[in-house]
C-alpha cells in the first residue's frame, strides 16, 4: 500500500484545478440504466470510485467507455444482462446501492447487496427501502442482499423521507422518473449533486421540479432518452484545497471553484480570518493574519456545513488561535482523524458527537494512518504546516476521492511525494 510523505513548512502559491464531483458522478453513472440510449458524462473525475462504479455497471451488462484519460465517460445500457450487484463490489463502495432505483424502474427487479458498515458508521438503507416500497416495490432482505421486485411497475406516490438522505433521494428520484403517475419526495436532500442529477435526468426526458429544495415533484414518463452532461464541480475537493493555504500559508486559486457550492463552509472560513476572493477563474484563498481564529462547526445536510469537510476543518482548527467545538450530526463515528491528529501534537477531546479542539502553535510530523477518504486528506493538510515529515499510510482511501493529490499540492509548492509500496 502506497504512502504519502509531506514535509511541512512550505507556503503555497499557485492554481489548483478542481475536478468534477465524485458524489455527482457516482449518481449520474447509474442513470444510464434508466435508458437504452447513450449517456455521455464530461468533466468526470479520475478516481478509483469511478472505476468501481464502471465495473459494477459493466457487470450488469452496461457498456462504459472511458475516454480522454477518464474525463469523459460514454455509457449505454441497451441490453442489460444482470440485475444483481454483488457484495464483492458493493462492500468496496456504498454508492453501488445507487443501482437499486434505476434497475427497479427499468427492469422491475434488482438484487443488491447491503453495503455493510464502514469506518464512519453502520450506514443502513432503511430510508431507501421505505421510499422505494412507497413507489410499489416489494423488498425483502435475504442473506445480506436486498431482493426487490416491482410487479406491474412502479407507481408514483408521496414519499416522505424521515431524514434527508442523499442516496435515498437519488434512488427515489431516479426510480420515480419511470413510475406511472406523480411522485412527491418530501424532506428530500438538497445537495448540489442532487440538483446535478435532476438536470441530467431532465436532459434525458424526465419531468422533474423542485430539485435543490426539500420537495421534489416527478411526473413519470414511459421512457428516457440519451444525453450529454458535464459533471458539476466537486465542492468537497474545492473546500479541501481552500483549506491548504490557510494551514500552510501563502495562497491558492481554486480553478472552477464556485462560492455558491460552499456558502456555509465559506462563512466559517470568513469567521476564522480567511480571505476568499471570487476571481474570473474561481476562488482565490489566503489567510488575512498569521494564524486562523477558532470557530465552532455543526455538520448538517446541505445547505448546512458539509460532513465531508469536517475532518479537513479540524486539521485547520488544530493550530487555530483559541478553542473550537465541532459537532458531527450526520455520521455516528466520524472523528477517527482526531487520534491521528493527536499523534501530531493536536489537543483534541472527543465525547460522542462532539470534538473540542484547543489550538496549538504548531503540529509535529509523525507517521499517521488514514481510516476513510476525508480523514486521510485531513492528515495531508495537517502535514503541510507540521514540523518535519508526516507519513500518511493506506492512501488507497485517498485515491478514492482525490485526483493525484500529491501532484495538485506539489504544483503549488507543497513538499509532498508518494512512496510506492515495496
CB nearer ligand EPZ, residue 40 or residue 171: 171
Residues of this chain, 180-209, that bind ligand EPZ according to CB under 6 A: none
Catalytic residue, candidates 5, 66, 74, 118: 118
Question: Can residue 166 be called a binding residue for ligand EPZ (CB under 6 A)?
Answer: yes
Minimum distance between the CB of residue 126 and ligand EPZ, rounded to whole angstroms? 5
**CB-count burial class (<10 Å; 0-12, 13-18, 19+) for 414:** buried
CB nearer ligand EPZ, residue 195 or residue 294: 195
Which cell goes with 414? Answer: 507543497
- Residues in CB range of 112: below 8 A, 6 or more apart: 84, 85, 90, 96, 97, 99, 100, 103, 145, 146, 148
Q: Using CB under 6 A, which of 75, 373, 377, 416 touches ligand EPZ? A: 373
Residue number with the shortest CB distance to ligand EPZ?
Answer: 167
- Candidate ranges 118-126, 271-279, 319-327, 360-368; the one touching ligand EPZ (CB under 6 A): 118-126
Question: Can residue 60 be called a binding residue for ligand EPZ (CB under 6 A)?
Answer: no
Question: Can residue 307 be called a binding residue for ligand EPZ (CB under 6 A)?
Answer: yes
Would you say 275 and 242 are in contact if contact means Cβ atoms under 8 Å apart?
A: no
Minimum distance between the CB of residue 338 and ligand EPZ, rounded to whole angstroms? 17
CB nearer ligand EPZ, residue 251 or residue 302: 302
Question: Can residue 358 be called a binding residue for ligand EPZ (CB under 6 A)?
Answer: no
CB nearer ligand EPZ, residue 127 or residue 316: 127
Check residue 120 and report its DSSP letter: T
Question: Can residue 297 be called a binding residue for ligand EPZ (CB under 6 A)?
Answer: no
Question: Can residue 26 be called a binding residue for ligand EPZ (CB under 6 A)?
Answer: yes
Question: Can residue 165 be called a binding residue for ligand EPZ (CB under 6 A)?
Answer: yes
- What is the distance of C-alpha 304 from the center of its chain? 15
Looking at 78-176, which runs of residues are DSSP E strands?
84-85, 109-113, 138-142, 145-149, 158-160
The residues that bridge with 227 in the sheet, in sequence order, are 39
DSSP string, 72-119: EEEEE-SS----EE-HHHHTT-GGGGGGHHHHHHHHSEEEEE----BT
| 362 to 320, 344, 380: CA distances (angstroms) | 9, 9, 15
Q: Using CB under 6 A, which of 18, 19, 20, 23 touches ligand EPZ? A: 23
Minimum distance between the CB of residue 242 and ligand EPZ, rounded to whole angstroms? 17
Residues of this chain, 71-110, that bind ligand EPZ according to CB under 6 A: 94-95
Q: Using CB under 6 A, which of 401, 405, 408, 412 touches ligand EPZ? A: 401
CB nearer ligand EPZ, residue 211 or residue 308: 308
- Distance CA(396)–CA(294), nearest Å, equals 31
Check residue 178 and report its DSSP letter: T
Minimum distance between the CB of residue 120 and ligand EPZ, rounded to whole angstroms? 7
How many helices (H) and strands (E) the chain has is answered by: 14, 24
Question: Can residue 160 be called a binding residue for ligand EPZ (CB under 6 A)?
Answer: no
CA angle 220, 224, 230 (to 5 degrees): 115
Would you say 390 and 379 are in contact if contact means Cβ atoms under 8 Å apart?
A: yes
Largest CA distance in the chain: 65
- Candidate ranges 163-171, 198-206, 358-366, 405-413; the one touching ligand EPZ (CB under 6 A): 163-171
Would you say 132 and 159 are in contact if contact means Cβ atoms under 8 Å apart?
A: no
Asked about 254 being catalytic, the answer comes back as no
- The residues carrying an active-site annotation are 118
**Interface contacts to ligand EPZ, rule CB under 6 A:** 22-23, 26, 94-95, 121, 123-128, 163, 165-168, 307-308, 330-331, 373-374, 401
Amino acid at each position: 500500500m502506497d504512502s504519502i510523505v509531506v514535509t511541512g513548512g512550505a507556503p503555497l502559491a499557485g492554481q489548483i484545478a478542481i475536478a468534477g464531483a465524485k458524489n455527482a458522478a457516482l449518481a449520474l453513472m447509474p442513470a444510464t440504466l434508466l435508458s437504452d440510449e447513450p449517456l455521455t458524462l464530461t468533466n468526470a473525475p479520475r478516481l478509483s470510485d469511478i472505476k468501481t462504479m464502471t465495473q459494477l455497471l459493466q457487470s450488469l451488462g452496461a457498456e462504459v467507455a472511458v475516454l480522454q484519460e477518464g474525463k469523459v465517460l460514454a455509457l449505454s445500457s441497451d441490453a442489460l444482462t444482470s440485475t444483481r450487484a454483488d457484495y464483492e463490489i458493493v462492500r468496496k463502495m456504498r454508492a453501488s446501492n445507487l443501482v437499486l432505483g434505476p434497475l427497479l424502474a427499468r427492469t422491475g427487479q434488482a438484487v443488491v447487496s447491503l453495503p455493510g458498515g464502514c469506518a464512519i458508521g453502520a450506514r443502513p438503507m432503511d430510508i431507501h427501502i421505505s421510499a422505494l416500497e412507497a413507489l410499489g416495490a416489494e423488498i425483502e432482505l435475504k442473506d445480506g442482499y436486498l431482493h426487490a421486485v416491482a410487479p406491474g411497475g412502479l407507481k408514483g406516490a408521496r414519499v416522505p423521507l424521515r431524514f434527508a438522505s442523499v442516496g435515498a433521494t437519488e434512488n427515489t428520484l431516479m426510480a420515480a422518473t419511470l413510475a406511472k403517475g406523480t411522485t412527491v419526495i418530501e424532506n428530500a436532500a438538497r445537495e448540489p449533486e442532487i440538483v446535478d442529477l435532476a438536470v441530467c435526468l431532465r436532459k434525458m426526458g424526465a419531468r422533474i421540479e423542485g430539485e435543490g429544495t426539500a420537495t421534489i415533484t416527478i411526473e413519470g414518463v414511459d421512457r428516457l432518452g440519451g444525453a450529454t452532461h458535464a459533471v458539476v464541480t466537486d465542492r468537497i475537493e474545492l473546500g479541501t484545497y481552500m483549506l491548504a493555504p490557510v494551514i500552510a500559508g501563502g495562497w491558492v486559486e481554486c480553478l472552477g471553484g464556485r462560492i455558491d457550492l460552499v456558502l456555509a463552509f465559506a462563512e466559517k472560513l470568513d469567521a476564522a480570518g480567511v480571505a476568499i476572493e471570487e476571481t474570473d477563474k474561481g476562488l482565490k484563498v489566503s489567510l488575512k493574519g498569521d494564524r486562523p481564529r477558532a470557530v465552532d462547526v455543526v455538520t448538517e445536510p446541505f445547505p448546512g456545513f458539509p460532513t465531508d469537510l469536517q475532518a479537513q476543518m479540524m486539521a485547520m482548527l488544530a493550530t487555530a488561535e483559541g478553542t473550537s467545538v465541532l459537532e458531527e450530526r450526520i455520521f455516528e463515528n466520524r472523528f477517527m482523524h482526531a487520534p491521528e491528529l493527536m499523534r501530531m501534537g493536536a489537543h483534541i477531546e472527543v465525547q460522542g458527537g462532539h470534538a473540542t479542539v484547543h489550538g496549538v502553535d504548531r503540529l509535529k510530523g509523525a507517521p499517521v494512518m488514514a481510516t476513510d477518504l476525508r480523514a486521510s486528506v485531513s492528515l495531508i493538510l495537517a502535514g503541510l504546516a507540521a514540523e518535519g515529515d508526516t507519513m500518511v499510510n493506506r492512501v488507497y482511501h485517498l485515491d478514492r476521492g482525490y485526483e493525484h493529490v500529491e501532484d495538485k499540492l506539489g504544483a503549488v509548492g507543497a513538499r509532498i511525494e508518494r512512496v510506492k509500496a515495496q
